[in-house]
Structures are given as structure tokens and as C-alpha cells.
Amino acid sequence: MLVLAALLGTLATAAPGPPPAPTEIYKAALKRLSSLSQPGYIDSVQHWKVLAQTPQGAQPSEFDERVLFDSTARRECVLFVPYTPDSQVIIGPSYFAPDMWLVQRRLQSLAQAQVGAATPAPVSNTQPNFAPDLSDLHTIASVVSIAKPSYAVTEAGIDKLTNGGGAAYHLKLDPLNDPWKHNLRELWVNTANDNIVRAVIVGDYRMLPGQLVEQTTVYEDFGQVGPYWMVIHHTWSYRDAPNGVTYHYDATATKMSFPSAIPAWYFDEAQFNQHRAEVNLTETWL
């Protein structure tokens, strides 16, 4: 188990020399992503801070969730803390998975291994979605080739990193077409190793099924957790227009481990209901 912290500071500094061209920084960040390993399963505890701005005033709240992720099936199981057999549990597609930026590499590996595999259907913008746009990432023999990048990339400066020192290039990304699909807006890329340390994404969100899907912006911070480069912090907002309430969310991973396996019933609602009394409360897996 590892305690995690956000990485970025806000103080800009001068670069020691001429930086690479912004597009080259962007390509290097994608190439770095293609080299990163991905866990099979993730067991994470997340601390949430929520501020609801209502007609009656601000209403803050805090709580913890334990979230289990199946990285291959892209499914998650959300367990409220503390868990009891009659607790509410949310099971469904992964939404804020810590390895979301690594999925493209996994899917490409599967596609290369399966001759004639069908192309996945595009995600509908009528459903919540914060998956980062990695359509410019094409891995061929460990070389990233971008025939025509989806963004006009400019550099906005160089920012200090507060955790571990160093600095990051701050890139602005302006989609050249289809701004819903090409949803990246800003990236901070470590000047030393090309790791993405912060990202800004435009996405679609709703808190619960049946609510309106609204476009919002999410800020994501990354960190090293064991052998993996994970997203460890998110902030975003949601406007519940019918009720006149705006919610501001701040979710931070406080613990994370990588079991070799998690039983499949955790990711199937009908099966989970048959095993409610068997939920692992120790965060230790065999």
C-alpha cells in the first residue's frame, strides 16, 4: 500500500536551454505512454471531497470509497467505506480508472494478436465518458508514428514539480477537428523522462443513471505507484441543472495495490448479490 500525493506546483521557471518543439514534446509523451506497463487488477481507496453549491448555500461533504478495477474487462466495483453486506455497491464500466491512459496500448496489443479482430464501436456522447483521446498513439516496433496529429500543440511555459523536484513542459492542445472525440486540452510533460504528470480533459459526466449528461472539464494528476504510472487525483464539476445545484468533486487515491486476481463476481451485479457476505475487507488478496 502506498500513500499518494499530487505532483504539480504552479510556479513557472525559465528553461535551461531551448526546449524541443511542442509537437515533439507531445509525440515523446505518447511514445512514453506506449512503453509503460499496466496492471491486471487494481484495489484502490479514494478520499472524496464534494462541495455542493445549492440555492440554500454551500454544502461540503467528505467520504471514502474502495474501488476495485478489472483492467482487461474495463469494469469497476465501488464499495463504500465502511462496507457492510447491505451497503450500496456500484458495478459497471470503468470511469476514473487509475490506468485509463494505458488502455490504448493494451487494446492495440490485443488487436495485433487477433487477425481480423473487429474495430470497437465508438463511444456515444450520450453516455458519461472521460477516457483520454489517444488516437494519435500508434505503436509500431516501439516507434510512435503520427501522420497527422489531431491537435495544434503550443507550449505555455515550464512549471516546477513539487514532489521530487524537476520541471514539466506545459502544453496547450487545440483540436483540429471533432473536439468531442479529441478531448485533450492541456498536458504537463516531465522534462526529464517524458511522463505526463498532469492532464486536462473535456468530458461528459453525470452522477447517477437517469440524470442528464453534462460536459465538464477534469484535471488529472499522475504519480508512481509501485511499478506503475497511475492517475492518482481528479477534480471536476457537474451542473445538476433541473435542481439548480453545482457539484465540485476532488478525489484522491490514498492507497493502491495490484492483486494478481480478483474474483469475477465483484464485477457482475447479479453475481455480486450472491456473494455480499464474502467481500474481502482486508485489502489483501491471495
The answer to whether the beta carbons of residues 212 and 242 sit under 8 Å apart is yes
pLDDT, average across residues 238-259: 92
Supply the DSSP symbol for 129: B
pLDDT, average across residues 273-283: 91
Residue 284's SS3 state is coil
Mean pLDDT rounded to a whole number for the chain: 84
The identity of residue 60, as a single letter, is P
CB atoms within 10 A of CB 124: 9
Which grid cell is 176? Answer: 483540429
> Is residue 142 scored above 90 in pLDDT?
no
pLDDT of residue 10: 40
Which grid cell is 47? Answer: 478520499
Q: In what order do the strands lie in the sheet with 57-70?
A: 8-12, 151-161, 167-175, 184-190, 196-205, 214-225, 228-240, 245-257, 41-54, 57-70, 75-80, 89-93
Which CA distances in Å does 60 have to 133, 205, 253, 254? 32, 20, 19, 20
What lies within 8 Å, CB to CB, of 19 at 6+ separation is: 25, 155, 158, 169, 191
pLDDT of residue 149: 80
pLDDT of residue 254: 96
Query: 18: pLDDT confidence band, cut at 50, 70 and 90?
Result: confident
The answer to whether the beta carbons of residues 68 and 255 sit under 8 Å apart is no
Range in 19-23, 109-113, 174-178, 207-211 the model is least confident about: 109-113
Please state, in angstroms and rounded to a whole number, the distance separating the CA atoms of residues 284 and 202.
Answer: 36
pLDDT of residue 212: 75
pLDDT of residue 203: 85
pLDDT of residue 214: 81
pLDDT, tens only, 151-167 = 999 999 999 988 777 99
> Is residue 119 scored above 60 in pLDDT?
no
